[in-house]
Amino acid sequence: MNKGGLRKKLLLSHLGVALSSLLIIFFLVNLVMSFSFGRYVKNQQKAEAGFLLTDLEQAYDPAHSWGMDTLMNISHQAMLRGYTIRLYDAEGKLVWDTGNMGMGMSAANQDAAASRYKIVKAGANIGTLEMQGNGEAEQAQNRDFLQMFNRLSWGALLLVLAGAYLYSRFMARGLSLPLVQIKRIAVKMREGNLTERVPLQMNRQTEIEEVGQALNYLADTLQQQEKLRKNLTADVAHELRTPLTTVQSYIEAFQDGIWEATPERLQICHAQIIRLVQLINDLEKLNAAENPMIQLRHERLLLNDVLRDSVHSVAGRPELDKVVLTLKDEKQIFINGDYERLVQVFVNVLNNALKYTKEGRIEVTLSEEPSEVQVTIADTGAGIAADELPYIFERFYRGEKSRSRKTGGAGIGLSIVKAIVEAHGGRVTVSSTLGSGSAFCVHLPK
C-alpha cells in the first residue's frame, strides 16, 4: 500500500484546516484592531476633553477670559497626553495654540482629525476647544501591537505546521498499520495461504476492524470450502474404490478358479454393487434437489401422512431393537408440497438419528406456528460437536464419528434434506449436545 499517499492526504487536510483557521483569526484580529483601536483613542480624547472643558469653564473670567496659569496648565496637559490644543474665544479668535509653543507638539500629525468642543458657562458660549491627537503616536502604538501580533502569528504558523505534520504522521501510522496488515493477509490468501487471520481488538469497533473481521470470515469460509473440495474428491474416490475393489477381487478369484461362485459370495458382490448404485442415486438426487430448475410438485398434502410413511420406511431397521421411535402428531396439518421429496427429507433425518443413536429414543413431533409448520426429529444419540455443526449440511461432509465408522454414509444425506426443504421455501435448524443427542427441526411455510 502507498503509505506516503495516505500521510500526504492527511497532512494536506490537517494543514488546510489549521491554516484556514489561522488565517481567519489573523484577518479578524487585524480588522478588529484597526476599528476598535481608533475608537478607543477617540473615547480617550473625549474623556480628556471633558476634564479640560470643566477646567476652562471654572477658570473663565469674563473680563480677562483665561489667565496665563490656566493656559500653561492646559499646555502641560497637552504635552503630557500628546495632543495639540487650540483655544478660541467666543468670537472665534485663536487665544492659545500649544502647537506653536515649540514644545514638540508641532510634530502633531496634521492628518490626524481635530475634534472641536464648545465651552459653555452659565448657558453662554465662551469659546471653543480644539484638540488634535498626535496621530503618529496613536498609529505607532497600533502598529506596535499589530507587529507583535503578526510576529506571534508567524510563530503560531510554524507551530501549526510542525503540529499538523507530526499529527498526520501519527494518524497515518494508526490508519495504515492495520490496513497494511489486512493487505498482507489478503495477499497471502490470494497466494493460497488461508491459515493467517487479522488480529482484532475486541473493544474497538472501527471500520478497519470490521474490514478485518470480514476478511477473517472470508478466510474461514474459503478454508472450509477448500477442505470440502479436497474431501469431495477423496470421498468420491474412496466411496467408489471400496466396493469396486471388492467386486474386482471376487471376480478375479472366480476367473482364476481360486474361488467358487457360491450364492454367498455372489451376494457380497451384489451388495457392493447396490452400494455403488445407492451412491450414484444419492448424487443424482442431490444434483436434482440442488438444481434451481427443480420441478417440485405442489399438491395439497396432509403432513401427518408424510411423517407416517417416513416412519414406516425405517420401521424395519435393526437399530430399532434398542431404540424407541415415536411419532407425536395429534393435530392434522396440511401444507403444499411434493409428497415423495418430503418423505425423502424425513427418511434421511430419521436414518441419521438411527445411525447415531445406539440406544434410547427418537421422537418425531409435528407442531404448528402462526406462519409455519415444524417437524422436529429429536434423538438421544451421539450428538454433534459444536465445531462440526455449521458444516453438517455441506455436501460430503461427514463428522468424525461417521468417518471412523466404515458403514457411515457418504455425507450427502443432509445436503439433500437442506436442498429439498429450501426448494419448498423452508429451512432446517439443528441443536445438539455432544453425548446427549440432537434435534433437527424442519420449518416449512404453511
Q: Looking at 158-166, 224-232, 261-269, 404-412, which segment touches ligand ADP (CB under 6 A)?
A: 404-412
Q: Is residue 346 within the footprint of ligand ADP (CB under 6 A)?
A: no
Residue choice 41, 194, 382, 423 for contact with ligand ADP (CB under 6 A): 382
**Closer to ligand ADP by Cβ: residue 99 or 413:** 413
**Closer to ligand ADP by Cβ: residue 337 or 399:** 399
Q: How many binding residues for ligand ADP (CB under 6 A)?
A: 23
Q: Is residue 384 within the footprint of ligand ADP (CB under 6 A)?
A: yes
Measured from the CB of residue 426, what is the shortest distance to ligand ADP in angstroms?
18
Q: Is residue 428 within the footprint of ligand ADP (CB under 6 A)?
A: no
Q: Looking at 46-54, 65-73, 311-319, 376-384, which segment touches ligand ADP (CB under 6 A)?
A: 376-384
Residues paired with residue 114 on neighbouring β-strands, in sequence order: 132
Inter-residue contact 352 to 424 (CB < 8 Å):
no
Q: Is residue 444 within the footprint of ligand ADP (CB under 6 A)?
A: no
d(CA 293, CA 282): 18
Residue choice 119, 399, 424, 442 for contact with ligand ADP (CB under 6 A): 399
CA angle 274, 279, 281 (to 5 degrees): 90
Joined grid coordinates for residue 226: 477448500
Q: Looking at 22-30, 38-46, 221-229, 351-359, which segment touches ligand ADP (CB under 6 A)?
A: 351-359
Measured from the CB of residue 382, what is the shortest distance to ligand ADP in angstroms?
5
Closest listed residue to residue 140, CA positions, set 109, 100, 99: 109
Residue 200 C-alpha from the chain's centroid: 13
Measured from the CB of residue 284, what is the shortest distance to ligand ADP in angstroms?
16
Q: Looking at 148-156, 247-255, 334-342, 378-386, which segment touches ligand ADP (CB under 6 A)?
A: 378-386
Q: Looking at 230-238, 248-256, 289-297, 375-383, which segment touches ligand ADP (CB under 6 A)?
A: 375-383
d(CA 17, CA 4): 20
Residue 437 C-alpha from the chain's centroid: 39
Q: Is residue 352 within the footprint of ligand ADP (CB under 6 A)?
A: yes
Measured from the CB of residue 299, what is the shortest distance to ligand ADP in angstroms?
27
Q: Looking at 37-45, 65-73, 75-83, 401-409, which segment touches ligand ADP (CB under 6 A)?
A: 401-409
Joined grid coordinates for residue 274: 447396490
Q: Is residue 397 within the footprint of ligand ADP (CB under 6 A)?
A: yes
Q: Is residue 323 within the footprint of ligand ADP (CB under 6 A)?
A: no
**For the stretch 185-211, what's the b/e string if a residue is b when 16 or more beta carbons lie within 10 angstroms of its beta carbon?**
bbeebeeeebeeebeeeeeeeeebbee
Q: Is residue 438 within the footprint of ligand ADP (CB under 6 A)?
A: yes
Residue choice 18, 247, 414, 419 for contact with ligand ADP (CB under 6 A): 414
Residue choice 96, 413, 420, 444 for contact with ligand ADP (CB under 6 A): 413
Question: Torsions phi, psi of 210, nearest 5?
Answer: -65, -40
What contacts 265, CB < 8 A, 6 or more positions away? 250, 254, 259
**Closer to ligand ADP by Cβ: residue 243 or 399:** 399
**Coil, helix or strand at residue 359:** coil
| DSSP state for residue 113 in the 8-state scheme | P
User: DSSP characters for 377-407?
Assistant: EEE-SS---TTTGGGTTSTT---HHHHHSTT
**Closer to ligand ADP by Cβ: residue 138 or 235:** 235
Inter-residue contact 153 to 26 (CB < 8 Å):
yes
**Coil, helix or strand at residue 256:** coil
Q: Is residue 176 within the footprint of ligand ADP (CB under 6 A)?
A: no
**Closer to ligand ADP by Cβ: residue 133 or 409:** 409
Can you list the positions of beta strands (E) in 90-172? Answer: 94-97, 114-121, 124-133
What contacts 270, CB < 8 A, 6 or more positions away? none
Cα end-to-end distance, the chain, whole Å: 53
Closest listed residue to residue 210, CA positions, set 177, 189, 172, 182: 182
**Site of grid cell 466404515:** 406
Residue choice 3, 81, 401, 427 for contact with ligand ADP (CB under 6 A): 401
d(CA 228, CA 226): 5
Residue choice 38, 163, 360, 408 for contact with ligand ADP (CB under 6 A): 408
Measured from the CB of residue 388, what is the shortest distance to ligand ADP in angstroms?
6
Which residues contact ligand ADP (rule: CB under 6 A)? Answer: 352-353, 356, 379, 381-384, 392, 397-399, 401-402, 408-415, 438
